[in-house]
Structure 1
Amino acid sequence: MSEDKNDMSFLEHLEELRFRLMRSVIAIFVIAIVFFIFKDFVFDEIIFGPRQLDFPSFRAWCKLSDLLGLGERLCVKSIDYKIINTTMLGKFTAHIMVSLIGGFITAFPYVFWEFWRFIKPGLRQTESSAVRGVVFYTALLFFSGVLFGYYGIVPLSLQFLGNYKLADVESTITIMSYMKLVASITLATGIIFQLPIAVYFLSKAGIVTPELLKKFRRHALVAVLVLSAIITPPDLTSQILVAMPVLVLYELSIVISRRVWKKARERDQEFA
């Protein structure tokens, strides 16, 4: 840690935080502008991709159906719901929303890196060395969660909710409703996948222990099921699809917490 950082006053720390936040916001807006300019590709290929019959997830389901001997039962043969715009600003607002969300998702590694550079000088040398690579792993887990939500949960949610039958009511979905569903699922799964990182830092701080995680494993199972029910449509398949990777991440978090505490005990024995 540099001497200048140690001598910084509280107001100087706030000033540095302000500059880092400004750079993060600028990065998000710059990438958002790129998304805004290439709107045809962004909407046709990415946003409305899960509405296309040749979407990779649909093709995978069809192949799985064939492998399981189910014929074409899992194949998506038609997409009946329609997307409409009901307000003058609806399409433009959706365009802005998509650009900003795309900017945040793409710039996430840089935003976290700025945040990490702000708190890193306050760590001791041993602590800083112990969390080397945290930006990479945080970004990797975040993008993994976003991709999982986009390719795994979003198509199921759209198919279930868009094709849900209720008497003779036709499914005509507003563009903002469609966008909120896609955005909330992808961002939620991206954040949920940060569980191992959160457990790592909580274990380093002595707040979480592997024994505590094991003790509340059953409670975590219930919490995961409730969480999956919140961010997915009310069908069992989607909820299980969300719950499975989260439970795997929870078990991984136990392993991470165990390693953190093991290293802490070994370090204490060396200085004993």
Structure 2
Amino acid sequence: MATATSERKNFFKRLTNKGQQEEQTEMTFMDHLEALRWHLMRSVIVWLVAAIVIFVFIDWVYDNIILAPSSEKFVTYGALCSFGHWLGIGDGLCMPPVKIDFLVTQVNGTFTSAISIAMIGAVIIAFPYIFYELWLFVKPALSPKEKKYARGSIFWVSLCFFAGAAFGYYLLAPFTFNFLASFTLGKSGAILYKPTINDYIDSLTNLILGCGIAFELPILAYVMAKIGFITAGFLKKYSKYAFVIILLIAAIITPSPDITSQVIVALPLLLLYWISVLLVARVDRQKAKEEKEWS
């Protein structure tokens, strides 16, 4: 009788512990949702603050940043021309002056353009902090070894993004706008080239954000190699297919059909691909060394 009573007590104790574990699991899941909500809220607040600051100084931003790549006084034009003279190819890299007169076709066109500039500019400025909040959310789920591998990820991800954004703004955008502004259809001269300001802003932001995201290729390859999804041999084996994909990405990023602009995008992406191969090969060597030490 005493044995049966003891067994019943143990059964109810296990049942109670199971219920507590289920409740704890449910609370842990809710805690994760709550943490994610706060990470998102902080990211949105920083993004809004950056957008408000840009909007307050929207005239300066528009004159000195947005319009700069479409101006003949943009720093890239003079630098490329001087570089061409230094190489001894004369005016081979000099581009003709470009002048674009923008057209506004809506009553609220200028206001919506200012809002777009502020919102997209805020994304670029707040990118490191947004990624930092994402890292804080993911970090507790990582093992100490994975945290060690991810050390410095915020710096490298931000560096690659800003390097790509600078490449799109300082190099690709001038070539693109110069080509589009100087391209003519027919010889009658009956076409008046006046793009809308929204088209120009969309093209510029696509170049900046597209190149910024494309320059994350080495980081993505490093993470996938750590997970074990790819190896250096895999990347080398399918490099010819990667070449075709890179050409397609270059065609998507560049809004113009100019082959020069597409080559300017494709060459750095190919370089980044082979840098990714070197990083993945290093990861493979580290894994082989660890497996050898373990065995």
Are 2:163 and 1:144 equivalent residues in the alignment? yes
1:269 deviates by 2.3
CA distance in 2: counterparts of 1:225 and 1:206, whole angstroms: 26
CA distance in 1: counterparts of 2:193 and 2:89, whole angstroms: 28
1:270 deviates by 2.2
- CA displacement 1:38-95 (0-9 Å, x = unmatched): 1121001000011221211110122133234444454344324311111111111110
* Contact 1:80 1:162 survives alignment (8 Å): yes
**Letter in structure 2 aligned against 1:204:** K
* Contact 1:188 1:231 survives alignment (8 Å): yes
After TM superposition, the structure 1 = structure 2 runs for residues 217-228 of structure 1, keeping only pairs within 5 Å, are 217-228=239-250
Are 2:275 and 1:252 equivalent residues in the alignment? yes
Calculate the TM-score normalised by the size of structure 1: 0.94
Q: Percent identity?
A: 40
After TM superposition, the structure 1 = structure 2 runs for residues 191-230 of structure 1, keeping only pairs within 5 Å, are 191-230=213-252
Q: Work out which of the residue numbers 14, 27, 41 in structure 1 matches 2:33.
A: 14
Q: Work out which of the residue numbers 122, 137, 159 in structure 2 matches 1:118.
A: 137
Q: Match for residue 286 of structure 2?
A: 263
Q: Work out which of the residue numbers 42, 46, 50 in structure 1 matches 2:69.
A: 50
1:268 deviates by 2.1
Q: Match for residue 6 of structure 2?
A: none
1:265 deviates by 2.0
CA distance in 1: counterparts of 2:129 and 2:159, whole angstroms: 13
Q: Match for residue 207 of structure 2?
A: 185
CA distance in 2: counterparts of 1:242 and 1:165, whole angstroms: 24
- CA displacement 1:174-198 (0-9 Å, x = unmatched): 0000000000010000000000111
CA distance in 1: counterparts of 2:152 and 2:92, whole angstroms: 44
**Letter in structure 2 aligned against 1:185:** L
- CA displacement 1:121-163 (0-9 Å, x = unmatched): 1111111011110000000000000000001111111111122
* Contact 2:72 2:99 survives alignment (8 Å): no
SS state at 1:254 partner: helix
**Letter in structure 1 aligned against 2:205:** A
Question: Over aligned residues, Cα RMSD in angstroms?
Answer: 1.5
CA distance in 2: counterparts of 1:42 and 1:92, whole angstroms: 14
* Contact 1:113 1:135 survives alignment (8 Å): yes
Calculate the TM-score normalised by the size of structure 2: 0.87
CA distance in 2: counterparts of 1:70 and 1:174, whole angstroms: 36
Are 2:196 and 1:174 equivalent residues in the alignment? yes
Aligned residues: 267
1:68–1:262 Cα change, 3 Å? closer
CA distance in 1: counterparts of 2:62 and 2:118, whole angstroms: 10
SS state at 1:200 partner: helix
SS state at 1:173 partner: coil
Q: Match for residue 104 of structure 1?
A: 123
1:237–1:267 Cα change, 3 Å? same
CA distance in 2: counterparts of 1:77 and 1:163, whole angstroms: 8
* Contact 2:231 2:284 survives alignment (8 Å): yes
Task: Give structure 1 stretches of 5+ with no counterpart.
Answer: 1-5
**Letter in structure 1 aligned against 2:221:** V
* Contact 2:70 2:99 survives alignment (8 Å): no
SS state at 1:82 partner: coil
1:234 deviates by 1.2
Q: Which has the larger radius of gyration?
A: 2
Task: Give structure 2 stretches of 5+ with no counterpart.
Answer: 1-23
1:246 deviates by 0.6
Q: Match for residue 3 of structure 1?
A: none
Are 2:257 and 1:234 equivalent residues in the alignment? yes
CA distance in 1: counterparts of 2:96 and 2:294, whole angstroms: 66
